Amino acid sequence: MTQEILYVCEEIHPTITKKFLQSPVHVHDHPELSIILSGEAVYSIKDKTYIIRKGELVLFNPNVSHSVYLSPQTQYKDLHIGYSKLTESVMDYFEKTGNDFIILKLSSEKKYFYSLCEELLQEYRLRKKDCRTMIHSLATQLLVLIYRELVKEGVAPSEHLCNMGYPDKRKVVEFITHYINENYMNEISLDMFAKDMYLSQVYISKIFKEETGSSPINYLIKTRLSKAKELLEEQDLPIKVVSGQVGYEDAYHFSKLFKKYYGYAPSALKRHKN
């Protein structure tokens, strides 16, 4: 399963309260990272109480019961990130230690860690094009920094630290095909994958063709045209609308690609259907 960011949630309590604020006891069916950005909070985790302050974080495995208390006179801000899965190194840490949550005080990477948090929040707030890709990259970097802190504290092995060998080809190709299948209607480029994976465009094209017999761009075109054919066969939509729904703003360019691939124009398919 490819790692996905399920949600980003920023909670702010800027006003001073006169009474305790408490969240209900709850669990998540996925890992969650909670980062204190300012102030402090009292976390109740599996019936034990912990005071978590700025510069500290909590990383939960799935199904760990917890709740959060805010004391009176507290101004507080935090960030929660839900992951479909954790990085291999952090998952291995949980498995080998038997722990199901981490409370960590940041040290050497603290300044950089918080700069990534702010960058992630900016992406989340502004919702610019391809923000999901940026948020995924930044949220994954946070997990990498957490593992490095665990290694520095001597509670995690260093075997997962940087290996400059190329990643597993099959996993790279699976990620790209899954992304295209889910996002074919959006703007997608080889450069986007290269930047996100820290791999060269030439290398990505090479291994993709080795695994699938096609280039990433041809796979994208094939996916878009296949979806377009389905829409034309199943719904009575104008060609320009179908073109836009599969990621082509230029309906003329779309029609040329469609005819080149299938041997007939999309308008012919509409006439045949009618």
pLDDT in tens, 190-214: 988 887 776 778 878 988 999 999 9
What is the average pLDDT value for the chain, to the nearest integer? Answer: 84
Kindly tell me if the per-residue pLDDT of 157 is higher than 80.
no
Two tokens at 129? 């094009």
The whole-number pLDDT of residue 158 equals 42
130: left (phi over 0), alpha (psi -120 to 50) or beta: left
DSSP state of 168: P
Q: 206 or 161: whose pLDDT is higher?
A: 206
The whole-number pLDDT of residue 65 equals 92
- How many helices and strands, by DSSP H and E, does the chain display? 10, 9
DSSP state of 64: -
pLDDT in tens, 244-256: 999 999 999 999 9
Mean pLDDT computed over 164-168? 50
Q: 236 or 214: whose pLDDT is higher?
A: 214
Residue 222 CA to residue 261 CA, distance in Å, equals 8
pLDDT in tens, 54-81: 889 999 999 999 988 887 667 778 899 9
Q: Please, what are the domains in the chain?
A: 5-160 (2.60.120.280), 164-274 (1.10.10.60)
The whole-number pLDDT of residue 165 equals 43
Percent share of the chain, pLDDT over 70: 85
What strand order describes the sheet that includes 21-22? 21-22, 66-70, 40-45, 48-53
pLDDT in tens, 12-29: 654 444 555 677 888 989
The whole-number pLDDT of residue 156 equals 47
Kindly tell me if the per-residue pLDDT of 160 is higher than 50.
no
pTM equals 0.55
- The Cβ of residue 5 has, within 10 Å, a number of other Cβ atoms equal to 19
**How would DSSP label each residue in 112-123?**
HHHHHHHHHHHH
The whole-number pLDDT of residue 92 equals 82
The whole-number pLDDT of residue 272 equals 64
Two tokens at 2? 């490819």
Q: Token match 């320009």: residue?
A: 240
Residue 266 CA to residue 274 CA, distance in Å, equals 13
89 phi, psi to nearest 5 deg:
-65, -40
Yes or no: say if 208 and 218 are a contact pair by the CB < 8 Å rule.
no
Yes or no: say if 248 and 239 are a contact pair by the CB < 8 Å rule.
no
Two tokens at 139? 């949220």
Residue 188 CA to residue 1 CA, distance in Å, equals 21
Q: 71 or 225: whose pLDDT is higher?
A: 225
Kindly tell me if the per-residue pLDDT of 159 is higher than 60.
no
Residue 208 CA to residue 180 CA, distance in Å, equals 13
Two tokens at 75? 């101004």
128 phi, psi to nearest 5 deg:
-75, 170
Mean pLDDT computed over 126-154? 86
Q: 102 or 107: whose pLDDT is higher?
A: 102
Two tokens at 221? 């075109």
Please report, as a single letter, which amino acid is at residue 47. Answer: D
Kindly tell me if the per-residue pLDDT of 44 is higher than 50.
yes
The whole-number pLDDT of residue 185 equals 92
88 phi, psi to nearest 5 deg:
-55, -40
